[in-house]
Amino acid sequence: ATLGYSREDELLSDRLGAKYAYKAGYDPYAMVTFLKKLQAKDKSDMGPVFLRSHPYTSQRIQLMEKAMPSIISKADAGKIAKNSPELQTASNSIEGGPKDRSQTRVMCQKCRRIFPGTVNYCPYDGTKLGP
């Protein structure tokens, strides 16, 4: 009998889900939050691994937390660094200001939510997003 998708496929789907969520403007760390809620609700991280269709939830959490910086950097190819306050300040003084912020995204450093570049303050915690 087969178990359908392999445990490796399930781990890959976790990483891809976080990547696609980030690219769509959602907080990719929500995947970790979801897995922690799943773990708290379902205490089935027991039993032999060879009988399981999914990896242990604790393993999925650990791997996602470790992989998240890489997922974000690969998905965004440096857009978070490009939106750092220091770089934006330097860029504004050199170029005379940003040309079109409507096509950019910024991440709140406090809550890690993603917003359009036209948003100046995080609506959740009030953190200044731009220069």
- Same-domain check for residues 61 and 26: yes
Quote the pTM value.
Answer: 0.51
The answer to whether residue 121 sits within a structural domain is no
Write out pLDDT tens, residues 49-63.
Answer: 666 667 888 888 999
- Same-domain check for residues 48 and 15: yes
CA neighbours closer than 13 Å in the CB half-sphere of residue 24: 9
- Same-domain check for residues 67 and 111: no
Q: Domain limits at 31? A: 7-76
What pLDDT, on a 0 to 100 scale, did the predictor assign at position 1? Answer: 45
- Same-domain check for residues 33 and 66: yes
User: How many domains does the chain fold into?
Assistant: 2
Cα angle at 130 between 129 and 131, to 5 degrees? 135
Length of the chain: 131
Of all residues in the chain, the percent with pLDDT exceeding 90 is 5
Q: Which two tokens stand for residue 90?
A: 């330097």
Write out pLDDT tens, residues 24-50.
Answer: 888 888 889 999 998 888 766 666 666
The answer on pLDDT for 64 being more than 50 is yes
